Amino acid sequence: MSLEISRRALLAGGGCLCCAGLTGMAQARIAPSAMTPLIGPGYKPLETDEKGLWSQYERIEQDIAGSNLLIKDPKLVAYLGGLAGRVGGPAARDLRVYLAHIPEFNAFMAPTGFMVVFSGLLTRMRNEAQLAGVIAHEAGHFLRKHQIRAWRDVRRKTDAFTMLGMGLGGLSAAGGGFAGIGDLYQLAQFGTIFSLAQYGRDLEKEADATGLRLISEAGYSPIEMSNTWSQLIAEIEASAAMRKKRPFRGTSLLASHPAPADRMADLRASAVEIQASGRSYDAGRDRYLSIIAPHKAMLLDDQVKLNDPGASLYIIQNLAKDGWSGTLRYYEAEIWRLKGKGKGADEARAVQGYAAAVQMPDAPAEAWRAHGYSLLKSGQAEPGKRALARYLAMKPAASDAAMVRYSMAQ
């Protein structure tokens, strides 16, 4: 499925946490201070092949702007644009950010200066500094002209492949190589050359270092970039552990992707150095949480309904570090219900979870519905009907009101 070509899938083959940074990778670390932007404000391409890419992506941007999959909430869009403005460096005024309603941890930067952020990113970020770090990393690719460098590199490599007679199958599967495709799912799959983690070791390190520089100059806590990675690694490991398997490995795309543990170590070391300057930094947690609050239920809904319990539990437990809420309790219970196959310890945890959710003042209406049905299932008719009535009171125009009333009447 095309959605699987995402950062987590690309990352997952990168090795274990325990191998982190003990092998003297520090020598290969790129200093953020060395990362000067290679383009200025209002940049336009001069070389033929870059012009070709630019022209394609201008049309792609038109199509993306008209996509059915965009989240267009004005406050959210303005917020993301504002972040890009703060950490975009010389391109701050040129960058455009689109938010796609796709529950994946991914973002990509087009060579023309527009960025698509997937809603799955917002589900996972714990504070504004983390989100700014992702945006700054992507801006780094743009400011250091990585896209055209990566394209030329891939082109050189594929010529080499042909001489060896290999690799044609995989490449032709990537849509014949035309980048002229405008919808977001396709771009996520076939446009991975510009996706979050597809540039090769050196370019990724450059983008990391550039990103660090950009966010620290904007006053964001630099350690948060490495925290983003450690969270993602932990999520992937949790997902695999739940399915009792090793973290997903082995797409050919991993070949050019450097070990995430290395990058995490480099980011951490650089952040420590930067923070040693004594300046005070902010993670922007409260601001981020209040902007996301109205969308939290939708974001969790999208994630939980993918039924990847290891990943979803990790995410919710991570978010709960800022405090449990009715919404978080409800979605945690949903994870157990979807996993549990209707019986056993998992189902019992779901039942307990709904009961816990409705204790909280912000319990969503759906928590009352789920609680009501689990009471009915266990033979507690009267409390069950009361809970369902509460659901209907909270959501009189619910699309399943007729079914709920019917269940109450049994």
Partner 1 sequence: MSRLPLILAVSASLVAGGCVSTQQVADVQFSPPEGDYSLIVMRPDVTVGSVTMGGLTEPRADWTETSRANLIAALKAQQAGRGGRTMILETRAQAGANAELVADLERLHNAVGASIQLHKYLGQDLPTKRRQGIDWTLGEDAVRFGRSTGYDYALFMYAEDSFASTGRVLLGVLGTAGCFVGFCAPMQGGRQLAYASLVDLKSGDVVWFNVLQSQLGDIRKPEGATQMIERLLGRMKAGREVRKAAS
Partner 2 sequence: MRSKSLIAILMSFSLAACAGGGGGFGGYSLVQPKARAVANGKMTVTPPRPWNRVPRSYYDIAEEENWTLNGPILDSIGFIAALKDGKAIVRQRRKEDRQVPVFRSNMTPPEIVSMIESLYRIRGGAAEFAMTGLKPATFLGRQGYQLDYDYLDQNEIKRRGRSYGAVIHGRLYLMLLDATRMHYFEHALPDFETMARGAVLRS
Which chain residues interact with partner 1 by CB under 8 A?
A: 48-49, 51-56, 62-63, 66, 68, 151, 154-155, 157-169, 171-172, 175-183, 186
Is 56 or 226 the residue whose CB approaches partner 1 more closely? 56
| Binds 162: which of partner 1, partner 2, none (CB < 5-8 Å by kind) | partner 1
**CA–CA dist 3, 289 (Å, integer):** 26
CB of 110 to partner 2, least distance (A): 18
> How many residues touch partner 2 (CB under 8 A)?
40
Is 159 or 382 the residue whose CB approaches partner 1 more closely? 159
- Residue 158 binds to partner 2 (criterion: CB under 8 A): no
CB of 262 to partner 2, least distance (A): 24
CB of 133 to partner 1, least distance (A): 32
CB of 54 to partner 2, least distance (A): 24
- Residue 397 binds to partner 2 (criterion: CB under 8 A): no
Is 195 or 210 the residue whose CB approaches partner 2 more closely? 195
Give the one residue of 76, 92, 240, 389 binding partner 2; rule: CB under 8 A: 240
Enter the tokens of residue 344: 């056993």
- Residue 76 binds to partner 2 (criterion: CB under 8 A): no
Label the pairing between strands 107-109 and 114-118. Answer: antiparallel
Label the pairing between strands 96-100 and 114-118. Answer: parallel
**269, 29 in Cβ contact below 8 A?**
yes
- Residue 287 binds to partner 2 (criterion: CB under 8 A): no
CB of 191 to partner 1, least distance (A): 12
Is 285 or 305 the residue whose CB approaches partner 2 more closely? 305
Quick one: angle between helices 128-143 and 223-242, nearest 10? Answer: 100
- Residue 278 binds to partner 2 (criterion: CB under 8 A): no
Give the one residue of 155, 156, 245, 287 binding partner 2; rule: CB under 8 A: 245
| Binds 72: which of partner 2, partner 1, none (CB < 5-8 Å by kind) | none
Letters for 186-225 (x = contact with partner 2 by CB under 8 A, - = none) are x---------------------------------------
Give the one residue of 159, 343, 361, 382 binding partner 2; rule: CB under 8 A: 343
CB of 283 to partner 1, least distance (A): 40
Q: In three state form, how does the secondary structure of the chain look?
A: CHHHCCHHHHHHCCCCHHHCCCCCHHHHCCCHHHCCCCCCCCCCCCCHHHHHHHHHHHHHHHHHHCCCCECCCHHHHHHHHHHHHHHCHHHCCCCEEEEECCCCCCEEECCCCEEEEEHHHHHHCCCHHHHHHHHHHHHHHHHCCHHHHHHHHHHHHHHHHHHHCCCHHHHHHCHHHCCCCCCHHHHHHHCHHHECCCCCHHHHHHHHHHHHHHHHHCCECCHHHHHHHHHHHHHHHHHHHHCCCCCCCCCHHHHHCCCHHHHHHHHHHHHHHHHCCCCCCECCHHHHHHHHHHHHHHHHHHHHCCCCHHHHHHHHHHHHHHCCCHHHHHHHHHHHHHHHCCCHHHHHHHHHHHHHHHCCCCCCHHHHHHHHHHHHHCCCHHHHHHHHHHHHHHCCCCCCHHHHHHHHCC
- Residue 249 binds to partner 2 (criterion: CB under 8 A): no
Site for partner 2, residues 302 to 341, rule: CB under 8 A = 302, 305-308, 310-311, 337-338, 341
| Binds 377: which of partner 2, partner 1, none (CB < 5-8 Å by kind) | partner 2
- Residue 399 binds to partner 2 (criterion: CB under 8 A): yes
Enter the tokens of residue 256: 């050019």
Residues that bind partner 2 (CB under 8 A): 1-3, 67-69, 101-102, 183-186, 239-240, 243-245, 248, 302, 305-308, 310-311, 337-338, 341-343, 369, 373, 376-377, 399-400, 402-403, 406-407
